[in-house]
Amino acid sequence: MTYTAFLTSLFVSAFISSTLLPGGSEAVAVYGLTQWPQHIWSIILVATAGNTLGAVLTYLIGRIIPNKVDEKKISFFRKWGPLSLLFSWVPVVGDGFVLAAGWLRVNWILSFVLILIGKFLRYFFLVFGVNILL
């Protein structure tokens, strides 16, 4: 696999992983790190970009859902507010936070920034953690 093909695969995997569909972008990122350890920052940035844009799609889906969602399902988001978007990277529940932010019409710029920070930190710690172990 070429480095360009890897980056494309990483972006697509990270994008899909951040929607309501399952994915495994962490494994793809770790694979890239083993093959191209000199490209740590590009791996982090491409994974972050794909994962953030996937979350933006989830946010937009949340905006088009009619306001007939069970309040119990979004109680955590209501309690912690937009700061819960820093945890949008957490498997399963993170997508729900993003969906709730869209449904609740949380400011999209604030949502984008918080999601971006959370996604970046996810891949930053993943890549540097694996790099230390390798």
What pLDDT score was predicted for residue 59? 94
Mean pLDDT by 10 residues, the chain (134 residues): 96 90 88 94 97 95 78 68 88 85 90 95 91 80
Please indicate, yes or no, whether the overall pTM of this predicted structure exceeds 0.95: no
pLDDT at 120: 95
Per-residue pLDDT at 72: 65
- Whole-number pLDDT of residue 21: 77
Q: What single string gives the DSSP state of each residue in the chain?
A: --HHHHHHHHHHHHHHHTSSS---HHHHHHHHHHH-GGGHHHHHHHHHHHHHHHHHHHHHHHHHS-S---GGGGHHHHHHGGGGGGGTTSTTHHHHHHHHHHHTT--HHHHHHHHHHHHHHHHHHHHHHHHHH-
pLDDT of the residue at 35:
95
Q: With contact defined as beta carbons under 8 Å apart, do 91 and 119 qualify?
A: no
